[in-house]
Chain A
Amino acid sequence: NSSILIPSPPLSSISNTITHKQTPKMPFKRYVEIGRVALVNYGKDYGKLVVIVDVVDQNRALVDAPDMVRGQMNFKRLTLTDITIDIPRVPKKKTLIEAMEKADVKNKWESSSWGRKLIVQKRRASLNDFDRFKLMLAKIKRSGVIKQELAKLKKENAS
């Protein structure tokens, strides 16, 4: 007869997420749910952003993206992101694309620090030999300017 008190979530956190998120203080922040945007980290679609549209069983999700055929993927191949979109279970491709536009997934992703890091990594990997040379010159120039300022400050401090 011990009653388990389940505190109701504060109003601000009520969204269309599944109600298992009941206790406000959970160690996990990103949950697998319908509409969760995830990054594929293994396999043929490596590096793509996909949306979880259904859960198959304990290990697999049905996953969809505007430029790919909807298919199952093991959770181990996915890394969850902070972005979710509002979709019914297994939406049509058109609905999915509209929902992604509405939630502005692309811009949210590309302005997030994670997304920006990936963009920078891709750019660095695609640098030409000439580009790497120009990059080296730019780095030297920048560090030269920084060292000058530093020297100025040191001089001011010393005097």
Chain B
Amino acid sequence: MAAKRKTPVKSRNPDLIRGVGKYSRSKMYHKRGLWAIKAKNGGVFPRHDPKPKAPAAAAEKPPKFYPAEDVKKPLLNKRKPKPTKLRASITPGTVLILLAGRFMGKRVVFLKQLPSGLLLVTGPFKINGVPLRRVNQSYVIATSTKVDISGVNVEKFDDKYFAKEVDKKKKKSEGEFFEAEKEDKKKLPEDKKEDQKSVDASLIKSIEGVPDLKAYLAARFSLKSGMKPHELVF
């Protein structure tokens, strides 16, 4: 096909009434410039030969098996899952309180939302021991405290970064079953440690700029006597 136009061309034949145009066929022939195209092409309208089709794939073998009844084709599903809608109170740099898991009660800095919908979060590690981690939005309270996150580059982190390492399958003989199952704890690869350090470096600087913020992030949140969660402002 000829190159597509950037904007679709408005019809050169305005409607007088729906179904009736202002200009006749001959007038439109002139308006569209078909005479000029023909003149350019030597009195004939340009004709492009159809592209030669690739030779048909080697003749398919007739199938060995024909089902007795008609087999229904499943309906086409073009649905693309979207990442979870992020709460308006959660913006990059927000301090979040984790509500479940190993780091329950820790106050943590939000970096960005990953394509799977999970939130990418970091302690920073030096301050409260929470590494770069994924966290579900539902298990988080967003506070109104924000940290300046402009110096941090989080482009390279996505869900694949956090995928588990796949072990090669090991065949176990009977004798080995009774030995210690795991050799030793998996070591964290050096490049992940480097990533943590680079992300945290600028974060820690902006955190130390605010008085008491470092101690705040280092402390855990807990409900004390008299605190009513539905009345607390976070």
Contacts and interface: CB of A to CB of B under 8 A. Distances in A.
Interface of A: 125-130, 133-134, 137
3 tightest A-B CB contacts, nearest first? A130-B145, A129-B143, A133-B216
B233 A137 contact: no
B215 A137 contact: yes
Interface in B65-111: 95, 97, 107
B146 to A, nearest CB: 10
B212 A128 contact: no
Contacts of B219: 133
Given A128-B143, A128-B144, A133 B233 contact: no
Interface string B195-234: 0000000000000000011011001010000000001111
Contacts, number: 33
Interface centre among B95, B216, B221 (most CB of A within 10 A): B216
Given A130-B95, A130-B143, A130-B145, A125 B233 contact: yes
Nearest to B97: A129
Contacts of A126: 233
A52 B201 CA distance: 62
9 contacts: A125-B233, A128-B144, A129-B97, A129-B143, A130-B143, A130-B145, A130-B216, A133-B216, A137-B212
A125 B144 CA distance: 15
B231 A128 contact: no
Contacts of A133: 212, 215-216, 219
Interface class of chain A by DSSP: helix
B145 A128 contact: yes
Contacts of A128: 143-145, 233-234
A128 B142 CA distance: 11
Interface centre among B213, B215, B219, B233 (most CB of A within 10 A): B233
B221 A129 contact: yes
Nearest to A136: B219
Contacts of A127: 233
Contacts of A125: 231, 233
Contacts of B95: 129-130
A129 B231 contact: no
Interface in B18-35: none
B224 to A, nearest CB: 10
Contacts of A130: 95, 143, 145, 212-213, 216
B234 to A, nearest CB: 5
Contacts of B212: 130, 133-134, 137
Nearest to B95: A130
Interface centre among A125, A126, A133, A137 (most CB of B within 10 A): A133
Interface centre among A127, A128, A129, A134 (most CB of B within 10 A): A129
A129 B233 CA distance: 7
A125 B231 CA distance: 8
A129 B219 CA distance: 12
B210 to A, nearest CB: 9
A2 to B, nearest CB: 59
Contacts of B143: 128-130
A126 to B, nearest CB: 6
A132 B97 CA distance: 14
A126 B213 CA distance: 19
Nearest to B232: A129
Contacts of A137: 212, 215
A1 B212 CA distance: 80
Nearest to B216: A133
A142 to B, nearest CB: 15
